[in-house]
Amino acid sequence: MIHTEELSCQIGAFRLDRVSIQIPANKYFVLLGPPGAGKSIFLECLCGLRTVDSGRIFLGQEDVTQTEPRLRGIGYVPQDYALFSHLTARDNVSFGLRVRRFPARQMTSRVQEVAQLLRIEHLLPRGIAGLSGGERQRLALARALVLEPPVLLLDEPVCALDEATRQEICAQLLRVQRQMQLTVVHVSHNLEEAFSVADHAAILHEGRLQQAGAMDELVRKPNSEFVARFVRAENILSGRVCTPPTEAPWTRVELSHAVLDVLGRHRGDIQFTIRPDQVLVLREGEHARHLQNHLELQLARWRDCGAYVRLELTGSIDLVAHITPAAFSEIRHCPRLTVVLPLQSIHVLS
Amino acid sequence: MGYALSRFEFRGRTIVDAIVDLPIVFPPLVAGLTLLVFFSQTAAGRWIQEDLGLEFVFQPKGIVLCQFLVGASFAIRSAKTAFDDVDCRYENVALTLGCTRWGSFRRVSLPLARNGILAGGILTWARAFGLFGPLMIFVGSFRGRTEVLSTTIFLEQSVGNLEVALAIALLLIFVALIALTTIRLVGGSTLVKL
């Protein structure tokens, strides 16, 4: 397990501010955040390329805060791969082995093994200049993996690749992580990328950790408006609790033009969210009037996104809903729609 | 020094950077005059010449010193430019792959900057090759003793031996042409930045 305690690092006007994260061993961890959040700096602190101002870094039980990068046993692939253009692909892969003075025979077999794993045997005799983005990515990965590090840090590993190659590489990264039982920390600003690989994730913003946990938890239970917007919760609503505490397991909240119930007991002003795919959209009046949190709304706009249709609904409140194309074909000509916000799908932001 | 100026932030870096550039900016004669005054008029200069027995003024050794001091600026500047072109990330990756700081410099930065450094070296050599003014002041131009090609042109022309002066001038032009062509072949981008 990788564990940071109150990690701080000042670079010019930017500050990585007291970041404490626990990254589970042998899991695929994605560090998310908008550009400039401090993700790459955090990664460089982990592998010892930046001196931290305060805080500690643990790899397993060992405090490695002051340990040199070469002694940390961490594989690192930077954003632009940084392949050594004065060496062939084979020499790039074997670089770490040569530095550590591995015997020639062992070096050859290790290079061959990792090349087979990443399916790059055909690239080994070539120079770096003519390689495509995907090939460079795989080669950089092979160079980091050849030393069999228990931890692999990937800084935006697929951001410069086209969509098809990105998906292919992400699948390969996940396969390699599972096969070698690595602890991977993958930096990205792309939520789809995180969905495709992550077991766990964390979100950084302006040098501060916003939330960390299982990927599903981040998406379903964001703890702040920033995280909710980052994970595209889209429906972020604000209101004021309008009933005194009762025995009921929910609280009634008054919005500007609507009243909704949310689970739990709350006071004062609250913010809550519901994911677009959790919003139920029905034809007006369709057996839903008895349900809690039903609203009469109109369809303002819609967009076919392939696997789902994105609806923008307007009325007493504005909402976004994602429904299947089949469901959309049934409601698309209805002038008014009944929209239900299931109580258990509403998440109150802390 | 080129690597240090390219990679490290330290106190007085701007001043060191400016001092390195001085011989590029001031007239070459000033370099010769400075050396002459230093070795003949200052206690440190006299100590080097008299006590250590390293005689430079009007001596062949002075040619080497003069060419080194004038050429060093170009060499440091071109090395700095070559190292600026090598992204720090290459060194960072080398550090995570098991290199020490020295190892990452030797195995990664130096080979990647090689062409730029080579081009800078050729340019420095060419500059030293054609040096005239500082040498005339610091070591003079004594036949067979402190004579270099550029000062020979002056000597031959001053005694009316124009054919020899022209022949040497042509040789210098030819050498300069080869140097400039080689620079473009091995590290043109560095030359452009210079």
- Output the tens digit of pLDDT for each of chain A's 350 residues: 899 999 999 998 999 999 999 999 999 999 999 999 999 999 999 999 999 999 999 998 899 999 999 999 899 999 889 999 999 999 999 999 999 999 999 999 999 999 998 889 999 999 999 898 889 999 999 999 999 999 999 999 888 788 888 888 899 899 989 998 999 999 999 888 998 899 999 999 999 999 999 988 998 889 999 999 999 888 999 999 887 667 778 888 888 888 888 888 888 889 999 999 999 998 877 666 667 888 889 999 999 998 999 999 998 899 999 999 999 998 888 888 999 999 888 999 86
- For the ranges A100-109, B45-54, B63-72, the maximum mean pLDDT occurs at A100-109
Angstroms from A111 CA to nearest CA on chain B: 14
Predicted local distance difference test score (pLDDT) of residue B141: 80
Q: Using CB atoms, which residue from A68, A78, A84 is nearest to B92?
A: A78
Predicted local distance difference test score (pLDDT) of residue A206: 94
Angstroms from B71 CA to nearest CA on chain A: 28
pTM for the predicted model, two decimal places? 0.81
Q: Which helix (H) or strand (E) holds A241?
A: strand A235-241
Q: For residue B10, what is the domain's CATH number?
A: 1.10.3720.10
- The larger pLDDT score, comparing residue A153 to residue B127, is at A153
* B63 has pLDDT over 80: yes
Mutate to test the interface with A, among B92, B97, B105, B109 (most CBs of A within 10 A): B97
Asked if residue B146 lies in contact with residue B112, where contact means CB atoms within 8 angstroms, the answer is no
Residues in B 63-102 with any Cβ partner in A closer than 8 A: 87, 89-90, 92-100
Q: In angstroms, rounded to a whole number, what is the distance separating the alpha carbons of residues A155 and A82?
A: 11
Cβ neighbours of B64 (radius 10 Å):
13
Which residues of chain A lie closer than 8 angstroms to B94, CB-CB? 95, 99
Predicted local distance difference test score (pLDDT) of residue B193: 44
Mutate to test the interface with B, among A45, A49, A111, A136 (most CBs of B within 10 A): A49
Which residues of chain B lie closer than 8 angstroms to A72, CB-CB? 96
| Closest B-chain CA to A82 | B90
Predicted local distance difference test score (pLDDT) of residue A310: 95
Which residues of chain B lie closer than 8 angstroms to A74, CB-CB? 96
Delineate the domains of chain A, giving CATH numbers in brackets.
2-221 (3.40.50.300), 233-348 (2.40.50.100)
Please indicate whether, in this complex, the C-beta atoms of A86 and B114 are within 8 angstroms of each other. yes
B112 touches chain A (CB under 8 A): yes
Asked if residue A98 lies in contact with residue A146, where contact means CB atoms within 8 angstroms, the answer is no
Q: In angstroms, rounded to a whole number, what is the distance separating the alpha carbons of residues B8 and A211?
A: 36
Domain count, chain B: 1
Residues in A 38-67 with any Cβ partner in B closer than 8 A: 44, 47-49
A69 touches chain B (CB under 8 A): yes
Each residue of A288-332: pLDDT tens digit?
A: 666 788 888 999 999 999 899 999 999 889 999 999 999 999 888
Long-range contacts of residues A65-69, Cβ cutoff 8 Å, at least 24 apart? A68/B95, A68/B100, A69/B92, A69/B95, A69/B96
> In chain A, how long is the greatest CA-to-CA distance?
77
Q: Using CB atoms, which residue from A49, A79, A82 is nearest to B90?
A: A82
Asked if the interface predicted TM-score (ipTM) of this complex is over 0.90, the answer is no
Mutate to test the interface with A, among B7, B88, B96 (most CBs of A within 10 A): B96
Radius of gyration over every alpha carbon of chain A, rounded to an integer in angstroms: 25
Residues in A 149-178 with any Cβ partner in B closer than 8 A: none
Predicted local distance difference test score (pLDDT) of residue A289: 65
Q: How confident is the model at residue B187 (pLDDT cuts 50, 70, 90)?
A: low
Q: Which helix (H) or strand (E) holds A55?
A: strand A54-59
Please indicate whether, in this complex, the C-beta atoms of B89 and A147 are within 8 angstroms of each other. no
Which residues of chain B lie closer than 8 angstroms to A91, CB-CB? none
The percent of residues above 90 in pLDDT, for chain B, comes to 14
The percent of residues above 70 in pLDDT, for chain B, comes to 96
Contacts of A158 (CB under 8 A, 6+ apart): A137, A165, A166, A169, A170, A188, A193
Which residues of chain B lie closer than 8 angstroms to A85, CB-CB? 112
> Which residues span the domain enclosing B181?
2-193
* B192 has pLDDT over 60: no
Predicted local distance difference test score (pLDDT) of residue A247: 75
Q: Which helix (H) or strand (E) holds B169?
A: helix B162-193
Strand-pair category, A183-188 with A28-32: parallel
